[in-house]
Amino acid sequence: MYKDIFKISSKKFKSRLIVGTGKYKNFNECAKAVKISGADIVTVAVRRVNISNKNKPVLMDYINPKKITYLPNTAGCFNSDEALRTLRLAREIGGWKLVKLEVLGDKKSLLPDMIETLKSTEILTKEGFKVMVYCNDDPLMAKRLENVGAVAIMPLAAPIGSGLGIQNFTNIKLIRNQTKLPLIIDAGIGQASDATIAMELGCDGVLINTAIARARKPLEMAKAMKYAVIAGRKSFLSGRIKKNLYGFASTPNKGII
């Protein structure tokens, strides 16, 4: 019996939707959204985690790391040194080796600095980290990340938090065709149809934060994204019909009275 398994490095997951934990009104809303979404993985910005003030709430009080995989990320890092220091700290705090690398180029566009990203990926891989990499949608750079040991390629659909949806279908398809690594759309998703389209292009998963957290009804959007990802994956595996310029009758011509 065929089983469609979502696997990153050596870990298997049921849900292909990864959910961010930032921008929610509070931890309680975040936890509810994660549960409704059915996500098995949540990203956590290490630089914004409370690890010293015992009087303030911590995410782990709301989302159990024994039930949900925490994916430490380097959100807010703008060079390789900052990113490396952040993920080494994450390893010391929680023993995490599966991580998401994100090195931004500037504070306005929030586009990835691919030179610093590539350098960081190579160093982290040699240190034993399993690196999932946020990157631009350049197939050549995606291949370089794969060659230096990344365990997942995570190209943006559009700038972080923009909600513009996938802007370059061709490049996403090219990346899909050249890699056997998990391909996960990261950044730019705005609505459920964007997530479905990403999955129909053959992506293995989608990472969503702002589109859920800042929706008018975050919990309802979390549910919508859950089913959008499932529908998109099933559509991709089913195999779409060939596109035709002209109409093609759905009823047979034989036996017409």
Q: Which residues are catalytic?
A: 100
Rounded Cα gap, residues 230 and 21, in angstroms: 21
Edge-first strand listing for the sheet containing 69-73:
152-155, 130-135, 98-101, 69-73, 41-45, 17-20, 205-208, 184-186
Helix (H, G, I), strand (E, B) or coil at 179: coil
Comparing CA positions, the residue from 129, 134, 65, 63 lying closest to residue 99 is 129
Comparing CA positions, the residue from 229, 231, 227, 225 lying closest to residue 209 is 225
Rounded Cα gap, residues 215 and 230, in angstroms: 20
Q: Could you write out the DSSP letters of every residue in 75-128?
A: TT--SHHHHHHHHHHHHHHH---EEEE--BS-TTT--B-HHHHHHHHHHHHHTT
According to DSSP H, which parts of 185-246 are helical? 192-200, 210-213, 218-238
For residue 121 the two structure tokens come to 């990926």
Comparing CA positions, the residue from 211, 220, 222, 149 lying closest to residue 186 is 211
Residues 6 or more apart whose Cβ sits within 8 Å of residue 56? 50
What single DSSP character describes residue 183?
B
